[in-house]
C-alpha cells in the first residue's frame, strides 16, 4: 500500500510499504478513509524534539474495518470506525479509570504502530481502541468526526481537566487547531468570556466562530496586558496553554488569576515553576488526552449535529500530496490539513 514516510527534516514522501495485516488476535486492520496532519507531526517534520521521528507518520484517522483478529468482539469488518491518536488495551486499571493515554501497553499511531497517513493501518487492541461511527464513509460529517481523534478531544480535555467549577473567564494561548477546539469546548460549557491569543487572522476568525469573545493578537507583554486589563487586573480563571513552548507557558502564568487553573495541552516543551504555581494557588492540569474516554460522548454530539469542529480543517489534499500539506501548515497557509484517499 501507499503511506507517508518522513525521510528527514522537511521531507515527507509517499511510498509503497508492506500492507498492514493481523499480527495478534486483538488486532484490526482498517482501510483509511481520511486522516489528518497534526502539530505533533510538524515537530517531527521540522526535526524538533517530540514523539514523531518517522519513518511512518500520522495518528489521526477514520476508516473502514477490513479485517479483525480472532478475539476482537466489539467491531466488525465493513464498519466505519474512528481511532484515538493512541491505541490502548482497554482493560488495565488505567484504561478502566479513564486514563487510556497512560495505558502501559498503549502507544501512539505513527510511533508505536503504523502511521495513519496511509491507505491502511494495523490497530492493536482493536476492542480497547476503536469506536464505531454510525454512518457510512461518504457522510459529510467525516471531517467533524476526525477532529475527535485528537484536537477536539484535546480541547475538551483542556477545559474539563482544568475547570471545575466552571470559570467565568477563560483564556486560550495559541490559535492552532487545539486552541480553537478549546474555545469551542469552553463555549459549549457556557463560559461567558473567552480570550483567544494568537497571531493569525484566519485562525482567529475560526476562533470567533467557535465562540471566542475577545481576540488578542498583540504579542508578548502587550498581549498579556490586554487580558489583565480586560479582566480588571484579575486575569483569567482558567488558562489553556495550547502551544507547548516556554513563552506560551510563561504567558499562561502571567494571565492566570491567583487561585485559578492552567491546563497544559500543548505537549509541553518547557516547564511551569511548581513552587510559583503553588504559592499562587494555581492548579495545573492537562496532559495527553485520554481520547478514548471522551470519544463516545463527543461522537454522539457530532452524530446529532450538536458539535461541529470541522472548520479547523481549511485544506483538503489527497494522500499523494501529503508533503504539501505539511509545508502549508508550517507556512501557516493552512490551519489543519485533511488527507483523503
Which stretch, 106-114, 229-237, 314-322, 333-341, contacts its own copies (CB under 8 A)?
229-237
Residue pair 167/237 in contact (Cβ under 8 Å)? The answer is: yes
Other CB atoms within 10 Å distance of the CB of residue 73:
9
Check residue 284 for interaction with its own copies (CB under 8 A).
yes
| Max CA separation in the chain (angstroms) | 61
Check residue 285 for interaction with its own copies (CB under 8 A).
yes
Residue 153: partners with Cβ closer than 8 Å, 6 or more residues away: 84, 289, 291, 294, 295, 298
Dist CA 84 CA 107 (whole Å): 10
Dist CA 201 CA 314 (whole Å): 13
Which stretch, 11-19, 53-61, 76-84, 266-274, contacts its own copies (CB under 8 A)?
266-274
Q: Rounded to the nearest whole angstrom, what is the least distance from the CB of residue 25 to its own copies in the complex? A: 24
| Grid cell locating 109 | 499511531
Q: Rounded to the nearest whole angstrom, what is the least distance from the CB of residue 145 to its own copies in the complex? A: 24
Check residue 90 for interaction with its own copies (CB under 8 A).
no
Exactly one of 11, 76, 164, 209 binds its own copies (CB under 8 A); which one? Answer: 164
Specify the residue for cell string 507518520. 57
Dist CA 142 CA 146 (whole Å): 6
Shorter beta-carbon distance to its own copies: residue 93 or 318: 93
**Site track for its own copies across 172-191, x = CB under 8 A:** --------------------
Q: Rounded to the nearest whole angstrom, what is the least distance from the CB of residue 159 to its own copies in the complex? A: 13
By the criterion CB under 8 A, which residues form the site for its own copies?
93-94, 97-99, 101-102, 161, 164-165, 232-234, 257-259, 264, 268, 271-275, 277-288, 290
Amino acid at each position: 500500500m501507499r503511506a507517508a514516510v518522513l525521510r528527514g527534516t522537511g521531507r515527507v514522501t509517499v511510498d509503497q510499504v508492506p500492507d498492514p495485516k493481523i499480527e495478534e488476535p486483538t488486532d484490526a486492520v482498517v482501510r483509511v478513509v481520511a486522516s489528518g496532519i497534526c502539530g505533533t507531526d510538524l515537530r517531527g517534520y521540522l526535526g524538533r524534539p517530540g514523539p514523531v521521528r518517522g519513518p511512518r507518520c500520522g495518528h489521526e484517522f477514520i476508516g473502514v474495518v477490513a479485517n479483525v483478529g480472532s478475539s476482537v468482539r466489539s467491531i466488525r469488518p465493513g464498519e466505519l470506525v474512528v481511532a484515538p491518536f493512541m491505541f490502548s488495551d482497554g482493560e488495565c486499571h488505567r484504561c478502566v479509570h479513564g486514563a487510556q493515554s497512560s495505558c502501559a501497553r498503549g502507544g501512539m499511531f505513527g510511533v508505536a504502530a503504523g502511521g495513519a497517513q496511509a491507505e491502511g493501518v494495523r490497530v492493536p487492541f482493536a476492542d480497547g481502541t476503536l469506536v464505531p461511527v454510525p454512518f457510512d464513509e461518504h457522510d459529510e460529517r467525516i471531517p467533524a468526526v476526525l477532529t475527535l481523534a485528537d484536537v477536539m478531544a484535546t480541547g475538551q480535555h483542556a477545559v474539563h481537566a482544568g475547570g471545575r467549577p466552571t470559570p467565568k473567564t477563560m483564556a486560550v494561548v495559541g490559535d492552532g487547531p487545539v486552541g480553537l477546539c478549546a474555545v469551542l469546548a469552553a463555549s459549549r460549557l457556557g463560559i461567558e468570556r473567552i480570550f483567544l491569543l494568537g497571531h493569525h487572522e484566519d485562525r482567529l476568525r475560526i476562533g470567533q466562530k467557535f465562540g471566542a469573545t475577545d481576540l488578542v493578537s498583540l504579542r508578548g507583554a502587550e498581549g498579556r496586558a490586554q487580558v489583565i486589563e480586560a479582566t480588571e487586573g484579575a486575569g483569567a480563571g482558567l488558562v489553556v496553554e495550547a502551544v507547548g513552548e516556554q513563552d506560551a507557558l510563561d504567558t499562561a502564568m502571567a494571565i492566570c488569576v491567583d487561585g485559578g487553573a492552567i491546563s497544559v495541552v500543548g505537549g509541553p516543551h518547557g516547564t511551569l515553576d511548581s513552587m510559583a504555581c503553588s504559592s499562587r494557588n494555581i492548579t495545573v492540569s492537562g496532559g495527553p488526552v485520554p481520547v478514548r474516554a471522551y470519544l463516545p460522548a463527543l461522537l454522539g454530539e457530532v452524530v446529532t449535529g450538536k458539535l461541529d469542529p470541522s472548520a479547523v480543517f481549511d485544506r483538503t489534499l489527497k494522500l499523494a500530496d501529503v508533503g504539501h500539506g505539511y509545508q502549508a501548515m508550517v507556512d501557516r497557509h493552512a490551519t489543519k490539513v485533511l488527507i483523503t484517499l
